[in-house]
Structure 1
């Protein structure tokens, strides 16, 4: 009963939500903006009145300028209030955004926990081992299928390489012979000059004469 009398027995009233606070701030901004426009209109009218009565009625002109100053002061106060409200609204919007983000992260964390609830790390490791084993088996099967069979499997590759080297050497020797034959002088096929033929006939006559003299 004592707590109830002192107000301690009642639960603390919950404050307004972020959405409610933002709504109130926006309403206040709208109201102050309208008042700001109203004061700007009043200032313009007082200025025109002061100009109009500047020479005709100086007292009225001075009163108009005083009122203009008063309106300008109120306008400055409203400008400062709007700046404060804008800052507060942006801070509340950021706080509201952070709250929503935290709520989303909390829901995601609970969903992840629920998803992992029925998972056993040992079972996961066994499953991954089975998957790797099946992949290795599939690779072995692919290798076996792609391996050529039949002709050529019993041929020694070293013998084929040796035979290829012999063929290359023969081709090289043949090319060298062709090059050497092109450099040798060719046998002349044209008939000998007539002077050489005459000299040969004279030599034969001398031999005949010598043979006759000796006999």
Structure 2
């Protein structure tokens, strides 16, 4: 069955066009029958109206109208049967055409996959995957090597720490030297005094001695 379907595609566009032409003709015939159906129903209504109008006044006319209505009913039944038959046939043709188009696309996809698989063998896939794994491992090793590099020299770090400590000690020494002396009372208690300007070290010592003598004299 599949070979017959594929042979259908190999027949060129003639067979494909035949299916489309058949669908077009079926639709045209259905359209004509539906118009006839509507027209027949309209005639039946007209004959029914004539019969009702003359049922009491002119039975001959009424009887003739009913006969024509019965004939029209039979014609309508035949027309509707034709419509149903053509609708079923058209649905079948459209479904068959859809199936063929689907199979055609599937065959084209299968042929494309077959061609691609010929160009790419299993050995090529294995080699490519192996190369990918090797490159990933190489990238990992490079990243680890870069992360382990120490940009700063350890000796430079030690020299920097030493310089910082010396600078800190110098700042403390300068702070202690520049701090003013605090006078002390006879009992060791602090006394209030106005801050004096900084003097040379000898003058400060003499001043402290004079203050001590004065306190002892008191």
With normalisation by structure 1, the TM-score equals 0.59
**Secondary structure of 2:119 counterpart:** coil
Structure 1 segment 71-86 matched on structure 2, within 5 A: 71-86=72-87
Q: Which residue of 2 aligns with 1:190?
A: none
After superposition, the Cα gap between the structure-2 partners of 1:112 and 1:53, relative to the gap in structure 1 and judged at 3 Å, is: same
CA distance in 1, matches of 2:138, 2:17: 65
Q: Which residue is equivalent to 2:120?
A: 119
Q: 1:16 to 1:119 in 2, by over 3 A?
A: closer
Residues 130 and 16 from structure 1, CA distance in 2 versus in 1: closer, same or farther, beyond 3 angstroms? closer
The Cα offsets for residues 67-90 of structure 1, whole Å up to 9 and x where unpaired, read as: 112111211222222112111111
* SS of residue in 2 equivalent to 1:45: helix
The runs of 5 or more residues in structure 2 that have no matched partner are 1-14, 155-218
Q: Distance in 2 between matches of 1:103 and 1:49?
A: 59
Unaligned ranges ≥5, structure 1: 1-13, 154-215
Q: Distance in 2 between matches of 1:147 and 1:89?
A: 77
Q: Map 1:1-215 to 2 at 5 A.
A: 17-147=18-148, 149=150
Q: Distance in 2 between matches of 1:69 and 1:80?
A: 17
After TM superposition, the score normalised by the length of structure 2 is 0.58
CA deviations 1:149-201 (Å, max 9, x no partner) are 478x9xxxxxxxxxxxxxxxxxxxxxxxxxxxxxxxxxxxxxxxxxxxxxxxx
What is the total number of aligned residue pairs between the two structures?
139
Counterparts in 2 of 1:87 and 1:146: CA distance versus 1, 3 Å: farther
* RMSD (CA atoms): 2.3
